[in-house]
Structure 1
């Protein structure tokens, strides 16, 4: 039996009897924090259990909302309690298909707020939560992304990119084309950012996400993907060129599409200032 299943067996009775104080203690005690890697198996098991209930009552809903809103100011750096919003945020994505339209809207709002959190673990929980939604209903995830994207912060856009670079949902060509469309819009907006904005944490993490995610999309739709890369390789923007170059170096492209990679590199090196 996997650790994830073992945790689920321990979590279910606490959830069923709504013993959220004991549940919180259990999550914190087994969080693996402080440390470099939180207990992802436990967090996933928590979401599994909530999804399996298929019914989110008012007490559980309010508890999840409260946990998701635990701020950085409420926890010290590398605090064990940081695991609670991490679990709650990703689990909100897990229960998305189980709640009504009003609660779905609230889930989207909570994930959007958490995407701007100063804590990287909470931001990762957003990407995981969005991936839960994608796996259940990609069109619902599309709706969320389309709502965020136009006025979204750099961190929100990073959450979208990280969530979309999820292989289980990229076997559908329409899904991949949506990813490329989102990518193109983000790259276009990046070219308009001034030097000061490019020094921010938001820009740094978005750029880092783009430096690998594009290759994930391109590997699934090489014809459209390499055309996109070739187009952006021609742009006179140092950061955009670095993003394209980084993706070309990923083995998922370099090993399988050497001819196309070479073609883009020719364009890139001919224009790289």
Structure 2
């Protein structure tokens, strides 16, 4: 699964053991943005040996790339389980790698992505739920009725799970990360299918303070404000 970019050509001539150092050197880190073009090409080109080398290295960017590669292969149960575990990593870039890899899966097989996020969104870990909604709530993946419906369904289910979390746990970092994602994902999902999405969004129970926050944050997004 190669993209044909210059990065892919450079990766192809390197042994798996050389990938971590090469990726670290070209990661763009430390800096405000990681090298996402390279991340995408690694996810597409990496095989089991390369993924193992990146995970063994343990550096933030190599593991981010490994997370994307594993998530892209989420149709394989073992790779899906490993990607799901990396969705709970303490490093936010690694978690983003998982969401990016799932989106790359959606590029080639939207049905497989929908099936995956449909399972992940019911995971008891808020960070796995967050990976599910962040992955499916990508505008380019919501151009079909199935994609748009899946995004709305994941937002609805993740919000319901959030409401079910005891108040004593709501202030944990993991739950706040889920809430932050819901604070923008709803607007993306609703904009993709306003006919179904607006009524679903407007039915959210804002007597819950976290749901009220989610609603306010999404109402500030231009894509949703124009519809409202």
For normalisation by structure 2, the TM-score amounts to 0.90
CA distance in structure 2 between the aligned counterparts of 1:226 and 1:189, rounded to whole angstroms: 20
Report the CA distance between 1:91 and its aligned residue. Answer: 1.9
In structure 1, the partner of 2:31 is 35
Q: How does 1:67-78 map to 2 (within 5 A)?
A: 67-68=54-55
Is 1:8 aligned with 2:8?
Answer: yes
Residues 1:151 and 1:160: Cα distance change in structure 2 (over 3 Å): closer
Is 1:83 aligned with 2:48?
Answer: no
Q: 2:118 aligns with which of 146, 162, 173?
A: 146
CA distance in structure 2 between the aligned counterparts of 1:160 and 1:69, rounded to whole angstroms: 26
| Aligned Cα root-mean-square deviation (Å) | 2.0
Moved more, 197-206 or 22-31: 22-31
In structure 2, the partner of 1:53 is none
Q: How does 1:59-208 map to 2 (within 5 A)?
A: 60-65=47-52, 67-68=54-55, 81-94=59-72, 96=73, 104-208=76-180
Residues 1:48 and 1:188: Cα distance change in structure 2 (over 3 Å): closer
Moved more, 186-195 or 154-163: 186-195
CA contact (8 A) 2:155 2:185 kept: no
CA contact (8 A) 1:117 1:123 kept: yes
CA distance in structure 2 between the aligned counterparts of 1:177 and 1:239, rounded to whole angstroms: 23
Moved over 3 A (4+): none
Report the CA distance between 1:9 and its aligned residue. Answer: 2.3
Greater helix share, 1 or 2?
A: 1
Report the CA distance between 1:69 and its aligned residue. Answer: 6.3
Report the CA distance between 1:34 and its aligned residue. Answer: 2.3
Show structure 1 runs of 5+ residues with no match: 51-59, 75-80, 262-273
Q: 1:246 aligns with which of 197, 213, 217?
A: 217
Show structure 2 runs of 5+ residues with no match: none
| Max Rg structure | 1
Q: 2:18 aligns with which of 1, 22, 30?
A: 22
CA distance in structure 2 between the aligned counterparts of 1:170 and 1:29, rounded to whole angstroms: 35
CA distance in structure 2 between the aligned counterparts of 1:65 and 1:133, rounded to whole angstroms: 20
